[in-house]
Amino acid sequence: MRQREFNLVTTSNSEIVLQVRARGRRVLRNPVANRGTAFTHEQRAELALSGLLPSEVSTLDEQVRRTYAQYSRSPSPLAKYIYLSQLRDRNEVLFYRVLSEHLEEMLPIVYTPTIGEAIERFSHEYVGQRGLFLSIDHPELVEQSLINYELDGDDVDLVVVTDSEGILGIGDQGIGGIQIALGKLGVYTAAAGIHPRRAVPIVLDVGTDNLGLLHSGVYLGERHARVRGPRYDEFIDEFVTAVKRQFPHAMLHWEDFGAGNAHRILHRYSDQVCTFNDDIQGTAAVVLAAVLAAVRLTGVPLAQHRVVIYGAGTAGVGIADIIRESMVRAGLDADDCYQPFYAFNRRGLIVEDSRGVRDFQRPYARTRAEVDGWQVANPHAITLQEVVEAAQPTILIGTSAQTGAFSRPVVTAMAAGCERPIILPLSNPTSRSEANPADLLEWTDGRALIATGSPYGTIRHDGVYHTIAQANNALIFPGLGLGVSVVRARRVSDEMIHAAAAALAGLVNEYRPGASLLPAMSDLRLVAAAVALAVARTAEEQGLARTPMTDPINDIYQRMWKPEYPRLEVLPVEDE
């Protein structure tokens, strides 16, 4: 069997070594092996690189400074994204070192919101791409495609997969969704130290209903409408079976699946494989952490709060589910566990006889008898204002992408019914946010406890500086993936998700007036470690760990890869 030209191995003392059989330009073209001007003169001689690089030998820190200066000169967010993508494909260590040192600044570039534009432009800007493209028209190639990625089963901790139907706020984007899988993996590495060669990004090409893509002369995906029904389910099943066989220790991370499939797929496979849906569980966990921190400030037990979910889609219902489960844990009677929730779809409050209600939304439907006693203009399209006035909620959560939905009348009505209203306008980007935090503070006389989906920074109101928490999934999913990989968990349980949220909330010191309800994005490395520790310990307690920890703190710390050039081991060139 032909030996690999490049191979990463980990020694018994956890040192990563890069074994290299290639020579010359093949070394410079490989992003794992290439270190550009940082190759020493001795390494250049051994690897036949003499004359292929400038004479000066740079340190990694010097390369970072030069690279960051070039990045800073890029004229637009998309240009910055393309620059970083090309850097990643040229020199992987340098890319992650730059990203790690400027993570808070670059996160909106490599992740939301800029990645949305990169996804839309994928076929136009295609210059070669990492990741796997699996077509529903060729299911017989799924397993061979996984094999072609040239990673052994023990080498993979994560598989991030999307079918691109529910990308961010821009919907069906066909195979362009591979960019969201790559973006997620970039955050896994920068925040939690998941080695980039232990993760596989995948897009499932099941067609697209995006007419613009279908009629585009440059679209690179399958040119037909999105496949649904039994054929789609069979393809997903074949994919999961192949992943289990090829990467038996990997966590399967589902990303940006449509509302009609996300909950169904997660529930179908959650007892079969180690699987996680970030839109449902990751979003829910980070929002729960913000809610737990806010609830501590109100002094009112969680089980006594009333919650409006404005936008009960995949993310909204996931948030409702995890808060409901936490209420039951906090003492709410299980028979009444849906009673504190008021959920909205496009037609208004979800009532038992509402039209267009999905199966996963139905448990949150209110009874017709209850709402018949309210003062409403149209009993079949009950508005947010009417619900706030009738139900007097204490927690208002927006996942609707409806700009300004949390209007002044809505917010003032809510604030009239509780001392510290908890208001979370979570929709991205800022142009789609349900409210601006500055307005929320003004309309509630500074009493609102706020977390948002987009970054807003610090807002001064009545002499107090309020740091607005950003409920970004990056506060949860990197640490979750790290914790799962350290103990090689068999499953991702509800208890592990709750442990992640509790660990995140425990990092917050919310007792200073105006303090953030969540840690800062600049602390992602610390956050990931704390979340990983809680997740791994919970997996052990539940008997889900294949590899129990021996020294938990050190086990987590040592597993977090740092972007540094590995020691090179130059091997003889294989005979042709």
Classify strands 422-425 and 395-398 as parallel, antiparallel or unpaired: parallel
| Candidate list 71, 80, 81, 184, residue with the active-site label | 184
DSSP secondary structure letters along 277-334 = EIIIIIHHHHHHHHHHHHHHHHTS-GGG--EEEES-SHHHHHHHHHHHHHHHHTT--G
* SS3 state at 472: coil
Give the list of residues 6+ apart from residue 466 with CB closer than 8 angstroms, or none. 437, 441, 446, 450, 458, 459, 460, 514
Residue 72 CA from chain centroid, whole number: 25
Q: In the structure encoding, which two tokens stand for residue 209, read together?
A: 């209903």
Largest CA distance in the chain: 84
Q: What span, in angstroms and rounded, lies between the C-alpha atoms of 269 and 491?
A: 10
What is the Cα gyration radius of the chain?
A: 25
Q: What span, in angstroms and rounded, lies between the C-alpha atoms of 550 and 207?
A: 47
* SS3 state at 305: coil
Put the strands of the sheet holding 469-470 in their side by side order.
Answer: 348-349, 341-345, 307-310, 395-398, 422-425, 449-452, 469-470
What is the CB-side half-sphere exposure of residue 232 using CA atoms within 13 A?
Answer: 19
Q: In the structure encoding, which two tokens stand for residue 435, read together?
A: 């409210």
Q: Where are the beta strands (DSSP E) in 140-228?
A: 158-162, 199-205
Please say if 184 is a catalytic residue: yes
| Candidate list 71, 81, 96, 111, residue with the active-site label | 111
Backbone angles phi, psi at 355, to 5 degrees: -90, 155
Q: What span, in angstroms and rounded, lies between the C-alpha atoms of 307 and 399?
A: 13
- Neighbour tally for 576: CB within 10 Å: 3
Backbone angles phi, psi at 544, to 5 degrees: -100, 0
DSSP secondary structure letters along 134-150 = EETT-GGGHHHHHHHT-
- Ramachandran sector of residue 457 (left: φ over 0; alpha: ψ -120 to 50; beta: rest): left
Residue 342: beta bridge partners? Answer: 308
Burial of 446 (0-12, 13-18, 19+ CB in 10 A): middle
Q: What span, in angstroms and rounded, lies between the C-alpha atoms of 11 and 260?
A: 45
- Report the catalytic residues: 111, 184
